[in-house]
């Protein structure tokens, strides 16, 4: 199940920030930082996490408040290799 601030019904904009939740005792949690290439992998990843906090496309900064409230087991960066330089510079 996906949830997104301001979304109506089951339609969400996967280019914007959203949360994915799934039943699964013992599954880890994650924060996902991604660009448009990473967006295509979200569905595959969702099967392996009880909760994923997915940031807006091209937002490479994780706010301290989110990090402390979620306390994720994993932080995953999904980017096209052409964007790596800009990510490392931030």
Coil, strand or helix at 66: helix
Mean pLDDT throughout 16-20? Answer: 89
Residue 10's pLDDT is 63
Phi, psi at 82, each rounded to 5°? -70, -15
- pTM here? 0.84
Q: How confident is the model at residue 6 (pLDDT cuts 50, 70, 90)?
A: low
Strands ordered across the beta sheet of 51-54: 2-3, 18-21, 51-54, 29-34, 74-78
Chain position carrying tokens 């949830």: 3
Q: How confident is the model at residue 65 (pLDDT cuts 50, 70, 90)?
A: very high
Cα separation, 2 vs 46, in Å, equals 10
Residue 73's pLDDT is 97
Residue 58's pLDDT is 73
pLDDT at 1 exceeding the cut of 70? no
Cβ proximity of 35 and 78 under 8 Å: yes
């Amino acid at each position: 199940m996906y949830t997104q601030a301001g979304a109506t019904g089951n339609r969400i904009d996967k280019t914007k920030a959203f949360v994915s939740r799934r039943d699964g005792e013992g599954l880890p949690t994650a924060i996902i930082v991604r660009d448009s290439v990473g967006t295509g992998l979200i569905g595959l990843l969702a099967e392996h996490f009880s909760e994923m906090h997915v940031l807006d496309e091209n937002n490479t900064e994780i706010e301290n408040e989110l990090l402390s409230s979620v306390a994720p087991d994993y932080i995953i960066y999904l980017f096209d290799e052409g964007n790596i330089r800009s990510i490392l510079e931030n």
